[in-house]
Amino acid sequence: MSNNIDETAQQILDNIGGPENIISAAHCATRLRLVLKDDSIVKSEELSNIDLVKGQFSNSGQYQIIIGAGTVNEVYSSLVKLADINESTKSEVKKEADKKMNTVQKLVKLLSDIFVPIIPALVAAGLLMGINNVLTSQGLFIEGNSLLDIYPQITDLANMINIFANAAFVFLPILIGFSATKMFGGNPYLGAVIGMIMVHPDLLNAYGYGNAVLNDTVPVWNIFGFSIEKVGYQGTVFPVLAASFILAWTEKNLRKIVPSVLDNLLTPLLAVFITSFLTFSVVGGIMRSAGDLLANGLVWLYDTLGFFGGAIFGFIMAPLTLTGMHHSLLPVDIQLIAAGGSFLLALVASNNVAQGGATFAAMLLTKDKKMKSVAVSSGISALLGITEPAMFGVNLKLKYPFYAAMIGSALGCAYAAFAQITNVAPGPAGVIGFVTVQAGDVINFLIAILISVIASFVITILLSKSKKLNKSL
């Protein structure tokens, strides 16, 4: 095995331009993460032919080579020795990669770095909310009744699950405050404190703000003649992002001017007070309005364009995923949910499973045993909402399955938009995402999924008949 590992590392080194083309190298659980001086000299076709290489792609300034869990660390160690370079951490590689990105790429990466770490919490909460929906929805299994009506003994269990599910969304600013402040270079624990302040129970709950405005009962603080609304930010995204940026900026600048002997005392005190005051007096209200405008604008656009807009979204979603820009949809999804419901899950799920449908077709068509093996596992992953293995390991290599998936995604998303499927919580953007959509939309969600999978599968088969495209097989 050792010889095979060393041989693989040498082959990779030869095909990425040699040691002189490597700026830094690290690895994660499954991939080599390389920052190269020149990505254009990489021999991607030769890399794909290496037995242990399951896929490759360039994203956010990094050239990533998929090896697989349990093997990637051995290949990495051998690569570092052969190239005679120092081992790097993932954070060091990210810093080097950042230097190669433009402003838009850096912004997208920043949003990704903030929200990706909290995805497990949101998915867990979303699935719990889906389970609660299954228990409480009328007519889902029994006409005119919910499961609670038939089995009242599980009422308290449903109430418990509802509390578990809501917690992550009610206290969302705490999660975002921690993650965002860390990314902005501040103390993440102070960021969590800002999040706690923004959802303090003495504040008017954000979900009751609309009614309070209509009834002219919004509580206020009267400070030096100014009225500041005493309103929380439960379930919001943009206000806490702005507050986290202000906190990190304030903290870093205070550390430059506060004497070191008083730093641990005054810097946290002043940073938290200044940030909190600015958030409630100015920034929070502006960002809340901006978030509402964005949500309302997207809903209007969605309602106006209908199935045509859904088709466009479905067609371009896969290319967006290649750039990493799909991560920027999560805060938008959360904002839409806070406004009453989001349409994004059905669209993203339809796109993801389309990659799976195309991958399964490629599995039947290809004669390459290695690709067949990769296609099985990556196709299943795509159906569950994880598309990178399918895209980079199979569909992009053969090209035409990727095109077929784009078309299949467009068809599935067109139906999802036509049916106006709404999710009430973030969830896995795959087949099992149906648990987080409204009870009345479950059937339409599954229909959209089927359209995407079947269309992508069939179109892949049809495109394979082209001699020009069939060369990849």
Active-site annotation, residues = 28
Cβ atoms 36, 70 nearer than 8 A: no
Determine the Cα–Cα distance for residues 119 and 121; give it in Å rounded to an integer. Answer: 5
Among positive and negative, which fits the CA dihedral 209, 210, 213, 216?
negative
List alpha helices for 119-154, DSSP H: 119-136, 147-150
CA nearest 345: which of 320, 313, 322, 323?
Answer: 313
DSSP one-letter code for 326: G
Token pair in block for residue 280: 């409630």
139: left (phi over 0), alpha (psi -120 to 50) or beta: left
Residue 229 β-bridge partners: 220
Cβ atoms 79, 9 nearer than 8 A: yes
Determine the Cα–Cα distance for residues 125 and 397; give it in Å rounded to an integer. Answer: 36
Burial string for 26-64 (b: 16+ CB within 10 Å, else e) reads bbeebbbbbbbeebeebebeebbebebbbbbbbbbbbbb
Cβ atoms 393, 320 nearer than 8 A: no
Q: Regarding beta strands 31-36 and 62-66, do their DSSP bridges make them parallel or antiparallel, or are they unpaired?
A: antiparallel
Determine the Cα–Cα distance for residues 233 and 228; give it in Å rounded to an integer. Answer: 14
CA nearest 181: which of 133, 81, 85, 252?
Answer: 252
Determine the Cα–Cα distance for residues 324 and 318; give it in Å rounded to an integer. Answer: 10
Determine the Cα–Cα distance for residues 353 and 122; give it in Å rounded to an integer. Answer: 21
* Cα-only R_g, the chain: 25
| Phi, psi of 298, rounded to the nearest 5 degrees | -65, -40
Residue 418 DSSP SS3? helix
As separate numbers, helices (DSSP H) first and strands (DSSP E) second, the chain gives 22, 6
378 vs 130, 191, 251, 386, 409, CA distance in Å? Answer: 26, 37, 44, 8, 17
Determine the Cα–Cα distance for residues 13 and 50; give it in Å rounded to an integer. Answer: 12
